[in-house]
Amino acid sequence: MGKLFHVLEAQQFSKEWLENEFFPLSLEMEKLVKTGEPELLSKYSLSGKRMVRLFWEPSTGTGFSFDIGMHRLGGAVFASDHAGDTAMIKGEALEDMIRRIAAFGPDVMVLRTPKEGMAKLAAEYSSVPIINAGDGWGQHPTQAGTDLFTVKKEKGGIEGLHYVIAGDLRGRTPRSLAYLVAKFPGIRITFVAPVGDQIGDDVKEYLNRHEVPFKEIIDIMDAAPEGDVFYITRIQKEREKLLRSVERHGLVEAHSPKANWKADQGLLRAIKKDAIIMHPLPHEDEIAPELDPKVCKDRRVAYLRQSENKLYVAMAFLYYAIRK
């Protein structure tokens, strides 16, 4: 089944594919949505095609971007937001679930799974393309595609920029972004994370191998004047609890200064005139209310435009998986 176009991890994509195929196709999808041009609709039509979306937990953002994206292209959607319930209640192995559903003849399967590696395992057993829409602490390659597409649109290109990636860096979103952006020449990365949430050694080793300069700091303000893209993420709740318990006992204070990665008016005043602030959403208080696009008209706050791009990128991935 090696010829299927699975979307499993960010590093599977080359710079050339992203620039020559993926970004132009995503732009076409945006045009299709915004103009509804019949030629585009018929050129990219997935009419008669079927997407199965198997999510172990509900996600309205990613879920609806694929559901609505598939429908925009004329295809049919079969979605379960509780695939894990069946699996858990009945003890069904992932391999069996994937093969059983694949036998019903969908044209693509979009998976959100609770554990790293599950999307890859699914691909080994599937007779149809698998799109990994997040596998636990593993990766979220379609989010990384959205993120780079956003940078491309907002900044004109990916190369040569300074990326400040901040927050809970063990999450799949910053991981996938670091893996993907490392393919572009001239970039550098500054990671901002509290103790215990630093970027993983696998990512650092990968960056070293690709000769991408990076550093790790604990206060986003130190990178403010130099950054081009500020990519903020939230602390995963379960981790935050741990962090607070550590703080309560004074351990963080004792061993290291507190981290700061908040996006607020202070940050906005300190960053370049053409920098952008991104966030994969949902956010918590790491984005200050004063930066909400409802009240803040500063174009540098880009996260809602980034969120909209999820739709066009989902459509591009679906088209590739099914038609290419």
Binding footprint of its own copies on the chain (CB under 8 A): 33, 50, 52, 54, 57-61, 63-65, 67-69, 71-72, 76-78, 80-83, 85-87, 89-93, 95-97, 99-101, 103-106, 125, 234, 237, 281-284, 292-294, 304, 307-308, 310-311
- Least separation in angstroms between CB 156 and its own copies: 22
- Least separation in angstroms between CB 311 and its own copies: 5
Structure token pair of residue 110 = 């979009």
| Closer to its own copies by Cβ: residue 105 or 186 | 105
CA dihedral 188, 193, 195, 199 (to 10 degrees): -50
- Least separation in angstroms between CB 176 and its own copies: 17
- Least separation in angstroms between CB 60 and its own copies: 5
- Least separation in angstroms between CB 291 and its own copies: 12
Cα gap 171→35, rounded to integer Å: 36
- CA proximity to 300, closest of 154, 164, 198, 197: 154
| Closer to its own copies by Cβ: residue 209 or 294 | 294
| Closer to its own copies by Cβ: residue 189 or 232 | 232
| Closer to its own copies by Cβ: residue 65 or 113 | 65
Beta bridge partners of 165: 191, 231
Got the DSSP string for 267-304? HHHHS-TT-EEE--S---TTB-GGG-TTT---TTB-HH
Q: What is the DSSP letter of 21?
A: I
| Closer to its own copies by Cβ: residue 65 or 176 | 65
**Could you check whether the bond before residue 174 is cis, i.e. omega within 30 degrees of 0?**
no
